[in-house]
Amino acid sequence: MPDADDGFGELWDAHYDDVLSYAARRVDHETARDVAAETFLIAWRRRNDLPADRPFPWLLNVARNVLANEARGHRRRGLLWGRLRDDRDRHAPVADVATGLVESGRIGAALRRLSARDREALQLVGWEELDPKDAAIVAGCSVKTFSVRLHRARRRLAAVLAELDAEGHRPPITSLQGSRQS
């Protein structure tokens, strides 16, 4: 991006897509755009304090807080919020904070049964492909704490998957992506 000072344009080019992806995995696309813009607005205001060597986990930590702020509004609006929103969203619908995550399939069903903390640890590693050092910055804890969280979350995921298989569980249609209001 031209016209930016302090290397902010490079920061944008290097990380906007990934910050947007992080948000889009957790909320609908339009909200994700807002979350990405807010994250970079905060980064812009604090551009003198940015950790120059590894800004990405710092940006995701900011995005995580922005998302938490957004999520309050989403929760207020309940389950149908995501359905109604999906109905009008031209973009591919993605995971939604309001309904609990709505990714399809057995893994999605298992993730929904885990605690928010377990889900976060698994997703930062599994989706954002962060290593524990960076994931710890995003989650706001020590590397050691994160590693313990991840290890436990992985164990619990395995247990829930076994549980689901024993139940012969098939995720309800209503919680799948792409549900549409008639």
Partner 1 sequence: MNEDLQDVRRLLAPANPVPRGTLSGAGRDAIGRAAFTRVTGTDAPATPRRLPSRRAGVRLVTAGGLAVAIAAGLTVAQSLGGADRNGNPRAVLPGLPGSSVANAQVALNHAAGAADHRAVTPPRPTQWIYTELRSASIDAPSRGNVWTPTSPQKTEIDQYWMRADGKRWARFDHGKLVISPTGSGPFPNDYAALTVLPRDPDALLAWARRTQTPGESNSPDAKAWAALTSVLNVGVLPPGLEAATYRAMAKIPGATVDKAAVDDQGRPALAVIESLPGEWSANEILLDPTTYAYRGERLKVVKDHRFRDGAMIKKGTVESLSTLLAAGVVDHPGQRSPKRP
Nearer to partner 1, 54 or 77 (CB): 77
Residue 164, token pair as written in the block: 């689901």
What gap in Å lies between CA 8 and CA 162, rounded to an integer? 47
Residues 131-150 that bind partner 1 (CB under 8 A): 131-132, 140, 147, 150
What are the backbone angles phi and psi of residue 14, rounded to the nearest 5°? -75, -30
Smallest separation, CB 9 to partner 1 (Å): 8
Which residue in 45, 53, 90, 166 binds partner 1 (CB under 8 A)? 45
Nearer Cβ to partner 1 (49/53): 49
Amino acid at 42: I
Distance CA 147, CA 133 (A): 9
Phi, psi for residue 63 in degrees, rounded to 5: -60, -35
Among 74, 69, 66, CA closest to 36: 66
In the list 60, 113, 123, 168, the residue contacting partner 1 (rule: CB under 8 A) is 123
| Residues within window 50-109 making contact with partner 1, judged by CB under 8 A | 62, 65-66, 68-70, 72-85, 88, 94-95, 98-100, 103-105, 107-108
Cβ of residue 163: shortest distance to partner 1, in angstroms? 13
The residue (of 54 and 144) whose beta carbon lies closer to partner 1 is 144
User: Cα-atom radius of gyration of the chain, to the nearest Å?
Assistant: 17
**What is the nearest approach in angstroms of partner 1 to the Cβ of residue 78?**
2
Q: Which of 52, 166, 168, 180: binder of partner 1 (CB under 8 A)?
A: 180
Residue 15 CB-half CA count within 13 A: 22
If binding means CB under 8 A, how many residues of this protein chain bind partner 1? 88
Cα 129 to Cα 96: distance, rounded to the nearest angstrom: 20
3 touches partner 1 by CB under 8 A? yes
